Amino acid sequence: MKELTPRQIVAELDKYIIGQADAKRCVAVVLRNRYRRQQLDEAMQEDVQPKNVIMIGPTGVGKTEIARRLAKLVEAPFIKVEATKFTEVGYVGRDVESIIRDLVETSIRMVRGEKMEQMREKGAAAADLRLLNILAPLPSKNRKSSAGNPFSAFWGGNIDDNEDTEATNDYEKEKEKERELRQRRVRMRQSLANGELDNETVEIEVEESQAPIFGLGDGMDEMGMNMQGILGSIMPKKKKKRKVSIAEARKILTQEEAEKLIDTDEVNSLGIKRAEQSGIVFIDEIDKITGKDGGHGPDVSRGGVQRDILPIVEGCSVMTKYGLAKTDHILFIAAGAFHLSKPSDLIPELQGRFPLRVELDSLGENDLKRILLEPKNSLVKQYCELMEVDGVDLEFADSGISAIAEFADKVNRNTENIGARRLHTILEKVLEDYLFEAPEADFGKVVIDRELVECKLAEITQDYDLSRFIL
């Protein structure tokens, strides 16, 4: 885990998320505590439990983005799940243990990716050698020549001078041919290294990715069994020939060779350990499972889902196809709007496992304006780059930015409040004609100002029923 101070963590989050200072401070302290714990001796590490967090706030204010950016910041395995997708044991659907199995899968993919990167140089060298053997193969070693036969002395009396001379000439020709092949191989190696042959076509033999032999179904998947992997280890791998460019062949072969150099058992072990020590699970819509027991219909198992989540959050061992994974030190961040319920409606045992609670603010017009401009991945920057692909010089005037934020805030207040996601809808509507016609039309420079925004949106926003469907 990277060593970052809480202030540095908040500063990094500020690059992508506007406002929500309290939430950022809260998760920054939680993340720093994880680093502090890892500096303790092993006996003490086991006793320090993570402080899980509940984020309270309407949709579109940055709850998921804060958790996702937090995980990316420290390169931690991260998974986002929705509490409503899980059912109590005994009901048809996914059980909560699949959360941990999915987290372990994510962690192992991360570790495998890192190992692949470490082995890429060796893999590339092995791939170049395979390509060289295809393009300029070495001469065969099993050629028979009487001139080089150590037993020829025994038959000396039976071989006349003409046969001996002919055999010697053949041997010299073979040696000359071998020298030429080796010289050609040296030239070919240099050409490959310089990329001079990248556009040439070559036929290579690659392992064929096998489709599932039969449908396993959700039940087998939930048991964490990889039947295809088991059968694949028994059955021989199929190979097929492909004609590709040398540049593409190098990528394919580099991947194959790098995978051969990776210790799978080590990857699995490190992946489980990383998931256990650094994993972050984001449980969204936790407020939707706060229904009371004893109800009827599709919500009957809400209390059961809470009871099933409890041991995962408390700390238990979950069987995955890579081995046991302990959940004692995984960080859980739950989130919900809590419009119709409150955190105290969760079962008491689960409440106690989420000691930190932080409320996120609803977004106003000024916040929406800042979201359009300030983040590193702001929507304005994204649309400008996208339109530039079709030769359109898109520019957003200050008046246009203000108008977009104003309309987004107005629609959020008059209809369902979906926070910053409303900006996507507004921008798409404003730019719809340009996005559609740009490949064929020559727009040159396009300035998005207040007048243009009002022209595109005025009629829609004035009609309440229309704006509910379009914006």
Domains annotated for the chain, with CATH where assigned, are 6-109+267-359 (3.40.50.300), 131-150+159-266 (no CATH), 365-460 (1.10.8.60)
Average pLDDT over all residues of the chain: 82
Instruction: Give the pLDDT band of residue 121 (cuts 50, 70, 90).
Output: confident
Which pLDDT does position 108 carry in this prediction? 94
Instruction: Give the pLDDT band of residue 23 (cuts 50, 70, 90).
Output: very high
Which pLDDT does position 179 carry in this prediction? 78
Which pLDDT does position 21 carry in this prediction? 92
**Beta strands 317-320 and 323-326: pairing type?**
antiparallel
- Of 335, 193, 180, 169, residue with least CA distance to 250: 193
Of the two residues 292 and 103, the one the predictor is more confident about is 103
Which pLDDT does position 300 carry in this prediction? 52
Of the two residues 96 and 299, the one the predictor is more confident about is 96
Instruction: Give the pLDDT band of residue 54 (cuts 50, 70, 90).
Output: very high
Which pLDDT does position 335 carry in this prediction? 92
Rounded mean pLDDT of 195-212?
Answer: 72
Of the two residues 220 and 423, the one the predictor is more confident about is 423
**Beta strands 445-448 and 201-207: pairing type?**
unpaired
Which of 30-44, 311-325, 417-431, 453-467 shows the lowest per-residue confidence on average (mean pLDDT)?
Answer: 453-467
Rounded mean pLDDT of 442-457?
Answer: 88
Rounded mean pLDDT of 372-386?
Answer: 91
164: left (phi over 0), alpha (psi -120 to 50) or beta: alpha
Cα gap 158→152, rounded to integer Å: 10
**Cα atoms found within 13 Å of the Cα of residue 326, Cβ hemisphere only:** 8
Instruction: Give the pLDDT band of residue 294 (cuts 50, 70, 90).
Output: very low
3-class secondary structure for the chain?
CCCCCHHHHHHHHHCCCCCCHHHHHHHHHHHHHHHHHHCCCHHHHHHCCCCCEEEECCCCCCHHHHHHHHHHHCCCCEEEEEHHHECCECECCECCHHHHHHHHHHHHHHHHHHHHHHHHHHHHHHHHHHHHHHHCCCCCCCCCCHHHCCCHHHHHHHCCHHHHHHHHHHHHHHHHHHHHHHHHHHHHHHHHHHCCCCCCEEEEEEECCCCCCCCCHHHHHHCCCCHHHHHHHHCCCCEEEEEEEHHHHHHHHHHHHHHHCCCHHHHHHHHHHHHHHHCEEEEECHHHHCCCCCCCCCCCCHHHHHHHHHHHHHCCEEEECCEEEECCCCEEEEEECCCCCCHHHCCHHHHHCCCEEEECCCCCHHHHHHHHHCCCCCHHHHHHHHHHHCCCEEEECHHHHHHHHHHHHHHHHHCCCCCCHHHHHHHHHHHHHHHHHCCCCCCCEEEECHHHHHHHHHHHHHCHHHHHHHC
Which of 299-313, 357-371, 397-411 shows the lowest per-residue confidence on average (mean pLDDT)?
Answer: 299-313
Q: What percent of the chain has pLDDT over 70?
A: 82
CB 278 within 8 A of CB 71: no
Rg (CA), the chain: 32
Rounded mean pLDDT of 398-407?
Answer: 92
Instruction: Give the pLDDT band of residue 223 (cuts 50, 70, 90).
Output: very low
Which of 142-151, 254-263, 290-299, 454-463 shows the lowest per-residue confidence on average (mean pLDDT)?
Answer: 142-151
**Taking the model in full, what pTM does it have?**
0.79
Which pLDDT does position 415 carry in this prediction? 83
79 has a pLDDT exceeding 80: yes
281 has a pLDDT exceeding 60: yes
Which pLDDT does position 273 carry in this prediction? 94
Which pLDDT does position 164 carry in this prediction? 60
